[in-house]
Structure 1
């Protein structure tokens, strides 16, 4: 299917990519029309969306880049930056079309329904889009798709009006009569408010006149503040809704002067907020920010999982605002036909964007239209490289599933380094753009949004799974039962049942399954294990992880998706300690810091009498190394500092260090490929994955009960 993107440099692209696969809780929509935002999208393409420019304004991004340089070297950091600048990012967030398929668990939508779609990353400028149900609204009969594609922008305008908390008959100034401003003015009028329109450009105010607004003021000609005072008998407006887009703070400060005492100023547009306190304070003005489409926006529980807010607590959500705007279109209270400046086929996207970003004040709404003949089937979910390569006999034919940030930063480079042993046949991703871009970077023949399609239609030997944690077990089982060897990133599963499901499938199909416990393949770890190999007495290991904090919204902290840090990351360290001690964990006791599972300490007892201590914290600072290991055995000590150095005290072997961390990712992948070819024994298997998850589950139980817990490893 065709889809519009921009890259990290702000350049526009129209690409043919695989169509989205069906997901639970989602609806597949064949777009008819989509609206180009002359604000948000124009900024991205004019350089405001440049990743380099953004990074220079974000010290945290600069610090992250410096950490990559320190951990992986300048070359790796440069590769990551180049990858970001060349990556395609989807454009669009307001479209309308017909439902062609309904996912599992969806209620209230049927095939054939006309719907308006919302959300950046969902309601893309593409022939086919996959939309969560809370970002959809049914289009009433009599409302055209051309009109309905304005719905998301209309919801933004509605939310701004709601934030003003208006009553019938109040006087409201709309500052900025671009698309959102003109919609806002019409919504206010339909609510019984008296509207004054203000803009810099005469052309924009002419649109307001044509829509029936009499009180229009041009900032470059009129004394706007005085005129507003005259129109309100010297009292000032009850509210000002700022829909302008500028880095200047003047619109907000002018709004304070236009307002009456204890009036409201609502900021909808992206404007400067360097506020002049005197007028703001003197009038005791209520300044409010309006966030996007309404309550629910940016809440993954609401948008992605479909969780509804109780009506008694949240009367109007973003979904409600979408539906209400469509009702305003149906009743004729809001008209958008005169706001359509031009319409182009998706094939002419570059022409459309030239118009939208040209700075012409007469351009308000630019639409893209899509053919109604698109066929969605299994074949449409696979993109094929025009010049297909042939693998060598000795190469393992592999598909990669889930080319996320980690896979691109680590596995892509390693797959290229091991190209004599592996041929990347295809790439599967949640989005067609990610699948195709990744396939091109890896030289793969195929890109798809549906793993099942590639498993059924292509001859492959192995599958590499690097998706989010909640998908690991299910995808492993599917690949294994299809007779493919599997390399899966940690954890194997979020709980023991998911792990046992994989083990049963592996046993049934008699294939290999390796788990991404790379640290045991670090040369420093191997040397330390060798240095204690002849010590038969119990040992003690302390593993300290200075992990740093994560935002509450991070997917890893979601128990249903990432499993939390103890399950999602702790498994690494449980595996490492069992491996280096060469003994099975028997019992453990764990404590967490208050209610935080970002911070925990765990004491494990092993079958040979050894003891392991895991200290994991998000309270630290990244100026200190992330991982620090001390192992005490037989009168000697071994210390690994962040996999950059090994110090041995009274143990055989040599101490050494390097400037770049060596965590064993390449060696782990190499071992898997050699094992598939029958040249080596598999170094990590599904049983190792089960053991680590059982330790994590036992730790969670111990934290909950405050008691020591036996680890039921079988």
Structure 2
């Protein structure tokens, strides 16, 4: 299928061939009929992409701060790879469309194949021929509403949420500053609510349009006519609400708002304009400044948007989806008229040219629609054939005497053919750069749930194929190994499927989130006879740490290990916070530190004791080992961001090994060893780990880490949560 994309580094716009997204449970696959260009939000993004690197930095100081923190935590080279990887990737455009349901996922019962729906979301309602849309981000289109008008649903919801934040009442007078697409819709929604509206915009054509759509008066912000109109309509008191629907770097909108608003009026920010509030003016009138966050309650909540968990109507009357449905109803009943807003309708194939004309100012428009080939015919007919199921060739399974599968034989002389399931930030910044440069490795196929991420990985790292079809990858006999680099909740299931398909598997930590998942992986190993498994515990492969361990030498007595992990706080919205589906933060990351401790001590733990201080997420974990050694892991989120993330001390036999965040290390004993003091990049072992895995796959030799150790580390990680719940040490069973 085709999709409009942009490279944020170069500014390039393109209509790209990408894989068709899969139809996951809890959503529907929609073939686009019309999608709407947001001439404000999208053109701002397009313009930013055309800036120099310095210009991009100036326009997004929040992102610069994140980069600087990443440099302090992860080092300059790793941060550079991550940032450049993000910048030099195709990103999607679009967030408002109407289309026809082609396929219905499990758990969806409110629409059927052939239904017309309006869709929302900058990850799900893209300028693309097909989109997978979760349940709370689409709404059925009322009978008789044209699909090109239903495509306004998302921007209409944004305008509606802004109006709701203003809490207008019958007879109020409101000022709308900025009469672009959102401003024109706000004018109509206010008028439909019994509010008299004054509009402000420097463009006389937009002022005239707003007056035709119901505004009592409109004018240039610098003209005396606007102030006179407000005085006449309000008896000199000022407007009840001001809606800021303007963009740009001028502070004039907020200054005008204070001037024309009544005492204790409300100012609602819907757009993205400069907000240097003049303190005296806002204080003297005690103005109530409010922000309107996108489409409504539910926005940016992954449980609502992705998992389909609705808010009870008794507590949240107007959610994101209810706003969408309400706006469609208003348009269908002619209470809002969007047809006069349509300045241009372009064929989807002409998308790049259309964006360029808008950017250059050649095409002056309030709203522009893309029309998709074939989609409009199906929308008009109100039906569409069901999507054909992909053809999957299932490889024959050869049953051994023990009931297992026969692993495919491979030539040690040929390249190792790898497939990636998942191509997120970690895969593209920490794994694929090492593999793409490695001799004797062929990146065969990348499979993701979103089409564009697969296409990006194919372009950047040289995969031969990109797809959203996992079964096709597992059924490909030529693939030697599968990398599972997805979200935590899918690791165990994908690992089992790949093992059963006879593949060697590299799965990023964690291997499992529950004891049942871990037991399921082990049952699959037993059933298939395939134990070719590696978990991404990379720190034991760090060259600096390995050299420090060698310098420390053999132990004769028990050791005491102290490991401080200054994990820091997560950003709001991080999927790591979705504990209901993705497990606790320590369950996802803690295996790294337990594995490192166990490798240094040369054994697997026999018990785990975990404590958590009241009021925060910090953890204290004590591991006990067979020879009496102990390891204490302090996993803290309340430390200073400027302090190193990982520091470690190992004490035994009159010697001390000290590791400082994988930058420096030292050993103190009869002889002192100190690593180079020259600044070096943090090497946490990913490159060496991948080399060991590829070698094992190529030669058929042992996997880099014994399966028993992988299982013991995973079991110990899971035992932390058990110990926290029970308040007592947890004894670990021996290897299974």
Q: Same fold (TM over 0.5)?
A: yes
- Tell me how large the CA RMSD over aligned residues is: 2.5
**Aligned residues of 2:142 and 2:332 also touching (Cα < 8 A):** yes
Shift of 1:506: 2.3
**Aligned residues of 2:191 and 2:214 also touching (Cα < 8 A):** no
Q: Does 1:443 find its partner at 2:462? A: yes
**Aligned residues of 2:82 and 2:425 also touching (Cα < 8 A):** no
| CA deviations over 1:102-146 (Å, ceiling 9, x no partner) | 112223122111100001111000000011111111100100110
**Cα distance 1:143–1:634, how it changes in 2: closer, same or farther (>3 A)?**
same
Where 1:701 maps in the other structure, the secondary structure is: helix
- Number of aligned residues: 704
**Aligned residues of 2:579 and 2:585 also touching (Cα < 8 A):** no
**Cα distance 1:368–1:687, how it changes in 2: closer, same or farther (>3 A)?**
farther
* Residue in structure 1 matched with residue 636 of structure 2 by the alignment: 617
| CA deviations over 1:473-502 (Å, ceiling 9, x no partner) | 111111111111101111101122212222
Shift of 1:399: 0.4
| CA deviations over 1:428-468 (Å, ceiling 9, x no partner) | 12221111121122221100122222222462111011111
For 2:316, which of 314, 317, 320 is the aligned residue?
314
* Residue in structure 2 matched with residue 173 of structure 1 by the alignment: 175
- Correspondence list, 1:458-473, <5 A: 459-473=478-492
**Aligned residues of 1:381 and 1:448 also touching (Cα < 8 A):** no
Which ranges in structure 1 are unaligned for 5 or more consecutive residues? 383-390
- Correspondence list, 1:135-284, <5 A: 135-284=137-286
* Residue in structure 2 matched with residue 6 of structure 1 by the alignment: 6
* Residue in structure 2 matched with residue 582 of structure 1 by the alignment: 602
Shift of 1:618: 1.7
Which ranges in structure 2 are unaligned for 5 or more consecutive residues? 376-383, 394-410
Shift of 1:45: 1.0
- Correspondence list, 1:293-304, <5 A: 293-304=295-306
Where 1:624 maps in the other structure, the secondary structure is: coil
Q: Which is worse superposed, 360-369 or 570-579?
A: 360-369
**How far apart in 1 are the matches of 2:466 and 2:130?**
16
**Cα distance 1:73–1:531, how it changes in 2: closer, same or farther (>3 A)?**
closer
**Cα distance 1:361–1:182, how it changes in 2: closer, same or farther (>3 A)?**
farther
**How far apart in 2 are the matches of 1:637 and 1:60?**
41
Shift of 1:202: 0.6
**Aligned residues of 2:171 and 2:196 also touching (Cα < 8 A):** yes
**Cα distance 1:521–1:4, how it changes in 2: closer, same or farther (>3 A)?**
same
**Cα distance 1:360–1:532, how it changes in 2: closer, same or farther (>3 A)?**
closer
* Residue in structure 2 matched with residue 29 of structure 1 by the alignment: 30
**How far apart in 1 are the matches of 2:480 and 2:542?**
26
**How far apart in 1 are the matches of 2:206 and 2:61?**
38
* Residue in structure 1 matched with residue 442 of structure 2 by the alignment: 423
Q: TM-score normalised to the size of structure 1?
A: 0.93
- Correspondence list, 1:470-509, <5 A: 470-509=489-528
Q: TM-score normalised to the size of structure 2?
A: 0.90
**Aligned residues of 1:429 and 1:448 also touching (Cα < 8 A):** yes
**How far apart in 1 are the matches of 2:361 and 2:175?**
24
Shift of 1:520: 1.2
* Residue in structure 2 matched with residue 388 of structure 1 by the alignment: none
* Residue in structure 1 matched with residue 542 of structure 2 by the alignment: 522
**Cα distance 1:482–1:325, how it changes in 2: closer, same or farther (>3 A)?**
same
**Aligned residues of 2:100 and 2:115 also touching (Cα < 8 A):** yes
**How far apart in 1 are the matches of 2:638 and 2:215?**
57
**How far apart in 2 are the matches of 1:653 and 1:276?**
63
**Cα distance 1:614–1:245, how it changes in 2: closer, same or farther (>3 A)?**
same
**How far apart in 1 are the matches of 2:632 and 2:367?**
61
**How far apart in 2 are the matches of 1:218 and 1:637?**
74
Q: Which is worse superposed, 546-555 or 18-27?
A: 546-555
Q: Does 1:406 find its partner at 2:426? A: yes
* Residue in structure 2 matched with residue 662 of structure 1 by the alignment: 683
